[in-house]
Structure 1
């Protein structure tokens, strides 16, 4: 049986951080909404039903939470790139995508979002 890579989706992780370069943004934390997608080969995990052979999304999520909540970011680009680094760090990861929304960043918009993607280079 041929099964494609597993796709882990962490949806709508709501956190607060210092994001922005305007004086009020540097003094007050703002909400951000994070969506992460990670692709990895899960054939050994499902074939053997072995936790140690699965990518641990709880560990990744805890790292993201710590980094975002403890950080200060001038640009959304920096925040997204940092989270993408965390999402793509595991050696099994073949592809990762991170989108972060900054709700109410613009007066007449629900949010502003930015997406960055990473893909493992072919060997």
Structure 2
């Protein structure tokens, strides 16, 4: 049997949340930009054109945003690791998850500070 492992990606998911270690970051939301990729077997979804065999990326985006906003992480590193674990725990079809986050306002003279992780089951 051939396994058709595919990747679903959500690019530049923008929202504001509490993230950071500095006192003002613990009190005020700031913008973040996330990229999310998940790998899963596309075989049944492609054969049947049935979303039940895949992942609803709108639901995934909403779920990740809700998870991150409720968690109020201090470090980007913690945010990406815990978000990838959350995806693997809540989306059992997923065989790997890659998450990156960028704080575009973190370094004024740059496009921001970014962290990423890829976790494979």
Query: TM-score scaled by structure 2?
Result: 0.88
Aligned-CA RMSD value:
1.8
8 Å contact 1:16–1:68 — kept in the other structure? no
- 1:102 maps onto 2:103 in alignment: yes
Aligned to 1:11: 11
Aligned to 2:75: 75
Moved more, 73-82 or 28-37: 73-82
8 Å contact 2:39–2:94 — kept in the other structure? yes
Residue 3 of structure 1, CA deviation = 7.1
Aligned to 1:91: 92
Unaligned 5+ segments in structure 2 are none
The alignment of Structure 1 onto Structure 2 pairs a total of residues equal to 120
